[in-house]
Structure 1
Amino acid sequence: MSTSEAGAAATVIPIDDVARHHGAAGKAPVTAAPPPAAAAVPVAAAAPAATTTAPRKIGLPFFRQADRGSRCVALIDFVLRIAAFGPTLAAAIATGTSDETLSVFTQFFQFRARFDDFPALLFFMVANAIAAGYLVLSLPFSFVIVLRPQATGLRLLLLVCDMIMVALLTAAAAAAAAIVDLAHSGNLRANWVAICMQFHGFCQRTSGAVVASFLAVLVFILLVIMAAFAIRKR
């Protein structure tokens, strides 16, 4: 066989197939990476915890814890106003009905003691009547403060009015006390005789009225102190 025939009978292998064959033999088989394991999820995060919501309490303004002290002071204020009404009204009535007539020897000679004969006692009766009327009118405002302790404006209004009543009643009771003391003791230097030795009923009524009025003054002073304390606390 000649060389030309041998070359013609040889099998021709393309270069691409040889390169592909050597490349497949040199490379290691690539294995696919396993999928990443799923991260462990905590049980607490996976299953949402059941939250228990406490029942919502409806807070009424009347039962609020912060207002209990102020409400107690307002309630005492309301009770004291009712208590002060009695002495002021009793003092006004007792003074207005203090009238006594004394007969000497015969019915033609009579001496009469009446409250309007003394301007101080007249002023005393009017002042106590005004104070009694004011106490009645102030009761609704005091009751509103019991329901709403945060109403500082009403407290301030009652405080100013109470101070006016303290000044009025103190002046009236002091003037009436001077007249009653003069009626009991008299004045030797001025030659004023004590009339209570004859006019017992008149002196008893006026003396009791003065004592009742001073009690009302003390109650008003307590009202002023409590109102000032409550406003300062606010």
Structure 2
Amino acid sequence: GENCIAVAPGANYSLSPDSINRFSKVIDEAEIVVMQAEIPYNTIKSIALLAQQKGKKVLFNPAPACPVDTELMKAIDILVVNEVEAAFVSGIRYTGSNLEEIAGALIAAGARNVVITLGSHGVYMRNAYISARLPSYKVNAIDTIAAGDTFCGALAVMCAQKEIDMEALKFANAAAAIAVTRSGAQSSIPTLDEVNRFILKNELSYRSTFKFNEHENLLEPTIHSIK
């Protein structure tokens, strides 16, 4: 059920930092800037720093995985990574039980919020105040292509005008769950109405509780699935 992706950058790699001047005004009108690692690193960094300067949020998904320097990391409001990318960027091997350690290292490096997608195992989020983990929605996965893109896009929509929270994670989780039930990339991305109806239909499968983590002084929301 896992996918394998090859990228032929083509015109993407011609997007140089100098090109930013031609569309910098677009950033003024944006609520949030979303980027992946399919354009040159220096361009990503230049755009992130410009967005930060303009007071705009930055969501960065380093896919394909790439090293992220401190200056760029400090400009990232929401870092979205899967387990492989999280391990690569943090330099800490993922063991299956050390998400807090990896996310903590990424927070220490400068990212304000770290979201680690775990495929069929759900999603984990951590910032300076809370850590949270949501299970995945149980669906019949047909094609996982664009699941990560859909997750990032849906999360960006929810976080454009407010801070990241459990509602935003649940919305992005639901959008990605719908996407994997369809073939193709763009054709698998659901509409807002589809996501809202999906959440409503599956709402009874979730219950939210909170526990206090005495060791790290974190209020830790945990979502339990009710069979």
TM-score category of the 2 structures, normalised to the smaller one: under 0.3
- Structure with greater contact order relative to length (CA < 8 Å, sep ≥ 6): 1
Give TM-score, length-normalised by structure 1: 0.19
Give TM-score, length-normalised by structure 2: 0.19
Select the structure that is richer in helix.
Answer: 1
